[in-house]
Amino acid sequence: MNIDILLNKQLLYAVLTCASVGGIAGYIGSLMVTKRMALMGGALGHLTLPGIAFALAYGFDVSLGALLILIFGITAIWALERKTKLPTESLTAIVFATSLAIALLFLHHDHIDIALIGDISKITLLVTIITIIITTGIYLVTRKILPGMILSNISQDLAQVEKINVSLCKFVYLACIAVVVAMGVRIVGGLMTAALVAIPAATSKNISNNLSQYTLLSLLFGAISCTLGVLIASITQLPTGPMIILCSSMFFFISVIFKR
């Protein structure tokens, strides 16, 4: 009986954590899809792999390792862009390829599955609480800057007339994306973070009538896909990360049928 209770608690922690991360990933992905930045999530996911490798090797939290390497990588791209004047896309490819090479050199073969497709088997109550607090904070921050980001996407001049600090909004938004990706690697690994942010938003876009519906449904589809993926994985004993993405893809293909 005690084992059953423990397993139920572990499943509850996994569901709450994944639903929180999936929901905020879908919400923040709604703007990424609109700005054609969805693949950035995948690029950042690949960048996290050295951080995940070091976290697994030295026994600390994978999301923390992912976030630290993301901060380093984004800073490196910014510094190289200023120094070399090369296009951001070129520098991004160089940094991300280098990160992937480093990860493959130092990633222990026992940790490959965890790094690539995630692992939620050791989520604790503390991790769940911290995740919910962080995702709630990101939601509130993103909701605050969302109108300004959308307006700047339509017209930079109009955004300046409205006295919106576009540069600050972009910096805050990129920081939020980095944190979401760092949390996302825990549940879907470093390979599938782009899908975590892009598919719920694409699903919502197919059936939404307005911006409010679009952002809300993106959040809901992200949370529901993660919840359903965790539950199916617990029943079938299949990997949770791929199952989450498959559930999300299922909702997308259903939405195509009902596309407005």
Q: Which helix (H) or strand (E) segment is 43 a member of? A: helix 38-47
- What pLDDT does residue 38 have? 62
Q: pTM higher than 0.85 for the full model?
A: no
The dihedral sign for the CA sequence 154, 157, 158, 163: positive
Exposure on the CB side of residue 67, measured as CA atoms within 13 A: 14
Cα diameter, the chain: 64
DSSP string of 92-147?
A: HHHHHHHHHHHHHHH--GGGHHHHHH---TT--HHHHHHHHHHHHHHHHHHHHHHH
State the residue range of the domain holding 241.
192-255
User: Does any domain span residue 243?
Assistant: yes
- What pLDDT does residue 5 have? 42
- Residue-wise pLDDT for 27-46, tens only, equals 988 887 776 666 666 677 77
User: Does any domain span residue 210?
Assistant: yes
User: Does any domain span residue 221?
Assistant: yes
Q: Which of 201, 191, 208, 206 is nearest to 242 (CA)?
A: 191
**Which amino acid is present at 75?**
T
User: Does any domain span residue 128?
Assistant: no
Q: Structural domain tally of the chain?
A: 1
- What pLDDT does residue 3 have? 47
- Per the prediction, the chain carries an average pLDDT of 80
Question: pLDDT tens digits, the chain, 260 residues: what are they?
Answer: 344 444 578 888 889 999 999 999 999 888 877 766 666 666 777 777 787 887 877 777 788 888 888 888 777 777 787 788 777 667 777 877 787 787 777 777 766 666 667 777 778 888 889 989 999 999 999 888 877 777 766 666 666 666 667 777 777 888 888 888 888 888 887 778 888 888 998 999 888 888 888 889 999 999 999 999 999 998 888 888 889 999 999 999 999 987 76
User: Does any domain span residue 238?
Assistant: yes
User: Does any domain span residue 137?
Assistant: no
- What pLDDT does residue 217 have? 92
- What pLDDT does residue 1 have? 37
User: Does any domain span residue 163?
Assistant: no
- What pLDDT does residue 225 have? 94
- What pLDDT does residue 6 have? 45
User: Does any domain span residue 9?
Assistant: no
